[in-house]
Structure 1
Amino acid sequence: MTSPARFRDQSNWSNGYYELAIEVGSSDDAQIQVVLSALWSAADVHGCFGRTDREPEEQDPLPCTVGSLTEFGHLHGQVRLPTGQLVVCGCVAIRGGDESSDWLDFYVPVGALDKAGVAYWDGRPLFRSDVMDAWLAAVGADIFKSASFRLGVIGFEVSGCTDASTLAGKLPQTRDIGYLLPQGDVLHYGAANT
């Protein structure tokens, strides 16, 4: 079996993504940059690269900037999971334009989670990993210490499933995904509970 940290092994990038999607709350590049920098630091991402068809040592590293994200579409790196496994990861910006907020979506592909032996479905009706949820919630909490945001959602392909204005400052009682909801200067975590 190949390593879940190899870029060239396209099976590492397959089968969807386990995500921390962050509603930045602004379309201002400067604010997105603050959140992106805090995200890369909080998750302790190794490297910043624009391509997945070359290993990190076969390409020049990129600056971890909104400019690089715009140029390449996704930024890629490697991250150490709480289990100790090094895996591929990435980030994409979803720009809302004038109508809605911008989002940063940090993800670990399910193909890499499979190879790392991380269980992400235990028979519950939804695709979920308690290990990933707790880790991504901690990453989000660390980001919030230096970069405010409107909302974070955690789970399998959660980007775009809701937004802060829909929640109106209240965590849902029944949660199929995890929520990081700021109320003033305090970030509240509502773990998935279904």
Structure 2
Amino acid sequence: MGDGGNFSESTWHGGFYELAIEVGPRDDARLQRALTAVWSAADVQGCYGDMRRAPGQQESVGCTVESLTEFGHVLGQVRLPTGQIVACGCMTIREEGDDPVDWLDFYLPIGALDEAGFDIERAQSYRSPVLDDWLAAIGTAVFHAVDFHAAFIGFETSGCSDAATLGGELPESRRIGYLLPVAGELRYGPANDGS
């Protein structure tokens, strides 16, 4: 079993297992609260900007919206509920247009999960109830800091849906996990469609 916590080239291959959060209207302070809450809830160690250099070989950067803008992401290491330490990161998507929206994407690289011993044959169909529930708990903690619009959990979930499309209702058949505020209360709809 390898070390999924290193920042090697293979760490970042294969896509990402994600908690993609539709934070809400563009707002630096709100996005910062969400980023701080993710890092705290996941207990991420370190904060770095260069995925090509090991954490011990680079200076820390601030866990800030400014760092997200400068480096395109912030990176760290996290202990999964299964005990393995893996590389992780956050990036933001700041939509443009008439009603611009901020997204915050907390991700676990498939390469890091594979290096840590997770059995991932086909990333596109990979699903882990343990990781899903852990990411849902992180999302729930973030919701207490920032009442976000929706969040999506699974392989490459960023951009798969949004709160407006859901219209306040969890889909009955779910290929990914959903966190959706309903009447001020966050509801978790775990993935339930195995196809």
- Shorter chain as denominator, the TM-score bin is over 0.9
**Letter paired with 2:111:** G
Alignment of 1:81-120 (within 5 A): 81-99=80-98, 100-120=100-120
Paired positions, count: 191
> What's the TM-score once normalised by structure 2's chain length?
0.93
CA distance in 2, matches of 1:27, 1:121: 38
| CA positional deviation for 1:58 | 1.5
Structure 2's unaligned 5+ residue stretches are none
SS in 2 for 1:24: strand
> What's the TM-score once normalised by structure 1's chain length?
0.93
Closer, same or farther in 2 for the Cα pair 1:120/1:172, shift >3 Å?
A: farther
The residue number in structure 1 matching 2:27 is: 28
Per-residue deviation, residues 113-170 of structure 1 (Å, max 9, x unmatched): 1121224569xx9331111111101111111122210000000001000000000100
Structure 1's unaligned 5+ residue stretches are none
Asked if the contact 1:121–1:128 (Cα under 8 Å) also holds between the matched residues in 2, the reply is no
2:5 is the alignment partner of 1:5: yes
CA distance in 1, matches of 2:12, 2:147: 29
| CA positional deviation for 1:87 | 0.4
The residue number in structure 1 matching 2:149 is: 150
2:169 is the alignment partner of 1:170: yes
The residue number in structure 1 matching 2:134 is: 135
**Letter paired with 2:24:** G
| CA positional deviation for 1:2 | 4.1
2:63 is the alignment partner of 1:64: yes
Closer, same or farther in 2 for the Cα pair 1:120/1:181, shift >3 Å?
A: farther
The residue number in structure 2 matching 1:184 is: 183
CA distance in 2, matches of 1:117, 1:59: 26
| CA positional deviation for 1:102 | 1.3
Asked if the contact 1:144–1:187 (Cα under 8 Å) also holds between the matched residues in 2, the reply is yes
Closer, same or farther in 2 for the Cα pair 1:119/1:145, shift >3 Å?
A: farther
Aligned identity (percent) is 55
SS in 1 for 2:125: coil
| CA positional deviation for 1:32 | 0.5
**Deviation >4 Å, runs of 4+:** none
| CA positional deviation for 1:101 | 1.6
| CA positional deviation for 1:183 | 1.7
The residue number in structure 1 matching 2:17 is: 18
Asked if the contact 1:35–1:148 (Cα under 8 Å) also holds between the matched residues in 2, the reply is no
| CA positional deviation for 1:4 | 0.8
Q: Which moved more, 1:30-39 or 1:91-100?
A: 91-100
